[in-house]
Structure formats: structure tokens, C-alpha cells
A and B are shown apart, each in its own frame.
Chain A
């Protein structure tokens, strides 16, 4: 149980294009989903918290107009990197949280590796 999928697993795009990443909880309903960015050899940095049916809460320093988050259902959240630039290249990981599962533990997706040329 508690499986989270993420798609695509990797993407290469040209500078200026937009990229959409999907995060799905496959066997449970996620009341909250989190989006992280991880640079090589660094820790996970929280970008935003997304609750189903409401606007995402962004961490300080994260541009909400650049990283669009939509949490349309209890099993799906999407992150769109708009007008991507090489500095946006990173490993993006989502996690899903449910109060019904082991007291709110977060379960991570497999991550999406983004390379912007």
C-alpha cells in the first residue's frame, strides 16, 4: 500500500518551454501533496504544499507564477514548470500525505529528472 507514482520519470526540453509533471497516489487518497526540488548531493527543498481543491502554499523564494501547482483531486497533483531555463534543471520529487495512513507519514514518488537545454 501507499504507492505514489510520478510521470514522466525524466524529461529533456528546450529553454523557454513548459513542462508538466504529474504526481498520483495510487492506492490511497492524499489530502496533501508536497513538491520538492533536489539538486545533486543536496537535501530535499520543499517548494510548495498542495491541498486538494485549494491554492498551493509556496515556500519563501519559490516563484508561484513559474511553478504552477494544481491539485484537482485527492489522487492527482501536477507541477508545471513554465518557461523553463537551464537553472531549473533538477530532480523534482512529490510526496503524498494522508492522515489515514500511519499517522500522516509522507510517501514519495520516484522523482522526475528535468534537464533544460
Chain B
């Protein structure tokens, strides 16, 4: 089955700095890569996603890059704010399948 690795497990940044979280996957047939933000005790919220036919997607302070050859993708958050503090999960879905496989999560702390 699909194996998704996510790094780092924890990340502390100063407010205003950038944060980068990386994920690698094993199944070359994967074609959908969403990122979720989960605040303590809350549901995961989709913040951005990318499909295999593009290499980069940006939405305001959040961007995701995808390298299909190397089988890794990254989440970039610029100008971080305290409200960005949460656990972030990457996920991967294989073409033709419905279920996704989640990464292990990254706890991001933005220090005011």
C-alpha cells in the first residue's frame, strides 16, 4: 500500500517567518495531494490541494509544490501568524481510488 512520510514532526517559527513541511510518497500512481490543518480537538480542514498535472499552486500565504519524479510535495506558509499554529497533515490519493493515506502530521507553533 501507499506509504507517506512527513517531516518535520514539530516545527517552531517566529511570527512573520516562513514554514515548510515536506511529504514523500511511494506510489507513483498517486495523483491527488491535499493538505489539512487540524486545530486541537477540531476536525481537519482542507487548506490547499494539488493534482499531478501541475507543479505548484498558491493561495495567498499558502503554497504547495509537487515533484512527481521525486515523489515529494511540500507545503509553504509565508508570513506566519499565531493563528497558523496547528497540526498539519499531508495526504495522498491514488488515481482511481477514493481513500487517501495521511502523513504522520506536523505540529506547527508560531511564536509571537
Contact = CB atoms under 8 A, between A and B. Distances in A.
Contact of A107 (B46, B49, B89, B102): B46
Interface string A77-117: 00000000000000001000100000111111111010000
Interface string B70-105: 000000000000000000010001000011111111
Interface residues of A, number: 19
A97 B98 contact: yes
A107 B44 CA distance: 8
A110 B42 contact: yes
A109 B49 contact: no
Most buried by B among A43, A46, A113: A43
- The B contact surface, by secondary structure, is strand
Interface string A14-58: 000000000000000000101000000011101001000000000
A105 B49 contact: yes
B51 A109 contact: no
Given A103-B51, A104-B32, A43 B44 contact: no
Interface string B9-53: 000000000000000000000001010100001111110010100
A43 B103 contact: yes
Given A42-B105, A43-B89, A43-B104, A105 B98 contact: no
Given A43-B105, A46-B99, A107-B46, 12 more contacts: A34-B98, A44-B44, A46-B101, A49-B99, A93-B44, A103-B51, A104-B93, A106-B34, A108-B43, A108-B45, A109-B43, A113-B41
Interface of A: 32, 34, 42-44, 46, 49, 93, 97, 103-111, 113
